[in-house]
Amino acid sequence: MRARHMKLSGWGRALAVSVRAWRPERAAGVAHALRAGRDDGVIAYAGGRSYGDTPLNGGGDVILTARLDRILSADWKAGRVVCEPGVEVGDLMRVVQTHGYAVPVSPGTGFATVGGCIANDVHGKNHDRHGSFGDHVDWIDLMLPDGETRRVTPDGEADLFAATVGGIGLTGIMLAAGLRLRPVKSNAVLMKETPARDLEAFLAMQEEARDRHTYVVGWIDATARGRALGRGILETADDSEIAVDAPVRTRRRMPIEMPGFAMNRLSVGIFNALYYHRVPRRGRERHAPLTQFLYPLDAIEDWNLLYGKRGFHQFQCVLPDAESPTGLRKLMEAISAAGTGSFLAVLKTLGGAGKGHLSFPMRGFTLALDFPAKPGVTELLGRLERITLDHGGRIYLAKDAAMQPDSFAAMYPRLDEFRAVLDRIDPDRVMNSDMARRLKIRG
């Protein structure tokens, strides 16, 4: 088995590193790649949909899981499937929908993989109702750094399970995972869009919606200022009994990488204003395929080229309920003052803590937005990190490429438990990544 020397970057494209990449097609190949690992260690690289340096390992090895993409078995009576880590959630969703199920938790892109969803303990637009991805995992077949394969369950070896769910790949390479599905009556949801005129109104509407609807998400206009600060559109959705025609899978591609100046204050401001005003003030309702509701941006496969050669950063944090009104206002003010422009920012609620030591969710409000990687963006991200920390919040590792190690340690109180597991299963530090080094995760 050969490796290939290549450049890899996260979805934000702001960082690109040189790696030696293995692409095993079966378990034997994974073992080979783990053994071949060099001083700089090895990490799994799956769908490439996390934004920063989670799956990067500059100067070291990565194991691409793209060819480990089989659905191994399905029990349609019990609503359970077994998947290899490289199976894309959108692909899995389409397969299980034909049998009356949905993948219970899915991120905003169907191109994320099962392995990536576990490693980042991702959440969707239904976190209050259904928790995060790790809450639906029965077991994980994990190849540990020493090459031994073990079936890890939430009860059996609880701390290894907690270190693997949300553990950004540092406990080893997954070979398979057993997942629980959610029964649904059709492939569709009934969705409703309602505009919110400012931040206060928006928070009140979300607070009310989080207990009443299965899916709740808010698109927030990060360019609005003054009295309109924090205005946006609330989208709620619930399972529908009426099926709709499955969307034809047209994959449009970005024809070119846009020039760096395309995403400027003016263009983004106009886009956001149009996006806000397209929904009538009284709101509107329609039936939509669940996949279309979950993956609005997947229609354009490589939309990350919008931000040009330099790429972009995504910032996502969560603030506890009580801190959210003041904390979010400070965040929105800092963003709007910087004027760097973020097209499609998201504000939504989260229901509670995940099962992993490094799981992102906590009960509160989460805000996510993009910034072009232009001069000044580091300072802005630093200010947002400070505000998050001051309000007892947390930054999402799947999005991050800029956080400081001490902030990370302060935001993730179970870091010590995580480190203890890694010290036990990986004393030689076979698993490693740019994020692990940057955040000093191993201490």
Partner 1 sequence: MAGREEQRQTWLVLGASSSVARAFAGAAAEDGADVILAGRDVDDMKRTAGDVSVRTGRNVDVLPFDAEDLAGHEAFAADARKRADILNVFLAFGAMPEQDEIDADFALAAHAIAVNYTGAVSVLHRLAPHLEAQGEGHVVVLSSVAGDRGRLKNYVYGSAKAGLNAYLQGLRARLFRKGVSVTTVKPGFMDTDMTWGLEGMFLVASPEQAARACLKAAKRRRHVVYVPVFWWGIMTIIRHIPEFIFKKMNI
In the complex, least distance from residue 31 CB atom to partner 1, rounded to whole angstroms: 12
Q: Phi and psi dihedrals of 25, rounded to 5?
A: -110, -10
DSSP structure string for 149-218: EEEE-TTTTHHHHHHHTTSTTTT-EEEEEEEE-EE-SSSEEEEEEEEE-SHHHHHHHHHHHHHH-SEEEE
Of 29 and 58, which has the nearer Cβ to partner 1? Answer: 29
C-alpha distances in angstroms, 336 versus 54, 201, 376?
28, 18, 14
In the complex, least distance from residue 370 CB atom to partner 1, rounded to whole angstroms: 30
In the complex, least distance from residue 118 CB atom to partner 1, rounded to whole angstroms: 18
Q: Are 181 and 80 in contact (CB under 8 A)?
A: yes
Residues 6+ apart with CB under 8 A from 189: 214, 215, 237, 238, 239, 240, 287, 288, 289, 290, 293
Sheet of 61-64, strand order:
4-9, 16-22, 61-64, 42-45
In the complex, least distance from residue 357 CB atom to partner 1, rounded to whole angstroms: 30
In the complex, least distance from residue 7 CB atom to partner 1, rounded to whole angstroms: 15
Q: Please report, as a single letter, which amino acid is at residue 62.
A: V
In the complex, least distance from residue 307 CB atom to partner 1, rounded to whole angstroms: 27
Binding of partner 1 at residue 2 (CB under 8 A)?
yes
Q: What is the DSSP letter of 88?
A: B
Positive or negative, the CA dihedral 370, 195, 190, 239 is: positive
Please select the residue that binds partner 1; options are 7, 16, 38, 73, rule is CB under 8 A: 73
Spatial distance between the Cα atoms of 208 and 285, rounded to a whole number of angstroms? 18
Binding of partner 1 at residue 35 (CB under 8 A)?
no
Of 70 and 329, which has the nearer Cβ to partner 1? Answer: 70
Residue 316 CB coordination number (10 Å)? 22
Please list every residue from 3 through 32 that binds partner 1, using CB under 8 A. 3-5, 23, 25-29
Span from 69-77, 153-161, 280-288, 367-375 in contact with partner 1 (CB under 8 A): 69-77
Span from 30-38, 81-89, 112-120, 312-320 in contact with partner 1 (CB under 8 A): 81-89
Please select the residue that binds partner 1; options are 15, 63, 82, 93, rule is CB under 8 A: 82
Q: What is the torsion angle, in degrees rounded to the nearest 10, for the CA atoms of residue 67, residue 131, residue 316 and residue 281?
A: 110
Of 4 and 185, which has the nearer Cβ to partner 1? Answer: 4
Of 115 and 308, which has the nearer Cβ to partner 1? Answer: 115
Of 84 and 121, which has the nearer Cβ to partner 1? Answer: 84
Of 25 and 406, which has the nearer Cβ to partner 1? Answer: 25
Binding track, positions 95-124, relative to partner 1; x by CB under 8 A: x-----------------------------
In the complex, least distance from residue 376 CB atom to partner 1, rounded to whole angstroms: 40
In the complex, least distance from residue 21 CB atom to partner 1, rounded to whole angstroms: 8
Q: Phi and psi dihedrals of 377, rounded to 5?
A: -70, -35
Q: Are 139 and 179 in contact (CB under 8 A)?
A: no
In the complex, least distance from residue 152 CB atom to partner 1, rounded to whole angstroms: 19
Of 2 and 281, which has the nearer Cβ to partner 1? Answer: 2
In the complex, least distance from residue 246 CB atom to partner 1, rounded to whole angstroms: 15
Please select the residue that binds partner 1; options are 14, 33, 81, 331, rule is CB under 8 A: 81
Tokens of 162: 């907690």
Sheet of 173-180, strand order:
71-75, 80-83, 173-180, 137-143, 149-152
Please list every residue from 260 through 279 that binds partner 1, using CB under 8 A. none
Binding of partner 1 at residue 246 (CB under 8 A)?
no
Q: Are 220 and 306 in contact (CB under 8 A)?
A: no
> How do strand 16-22 and strand 61-64 relate by DSSP bridges?
parallel
> Strand, helix or coil at 143?
strand
Binding of partner 1 at residue 84 (CB under 8 A)?
yes
In the complex, least distance from residue 133 CB atom to partner 1, rounded to whole angstroms: 20
H/E run at residue 141: strand 137-143
Span from 51-59, 79-87, 185-193, 339-347 in contact with partner 1 (CB under 8 A): 79-87
Rg (CA), the chain: 21
Binding of partner 1 at residue 70 (CB under 8 A)?
yes
Of 70 and 429, which has the nearer Cβ to partner 1? Answer: 70
Closest by alpha carbon to 237, among 298, 183, 274, 291?
Answer: 291
10 Å CB burial of residue 182 (0-12, 13-18, 19+) is middle
In the complex, least distance from residue 5 CB atom to partner 1, rounded to whole angstroms: 8
Binding of partner 1 at residue 74 (CB under 8 A)?
yes
- Sites of contact with partner 1 (CB under 8 A): 1-5, 23, 25-29, 67, 70-74, 81-82, 84, 95
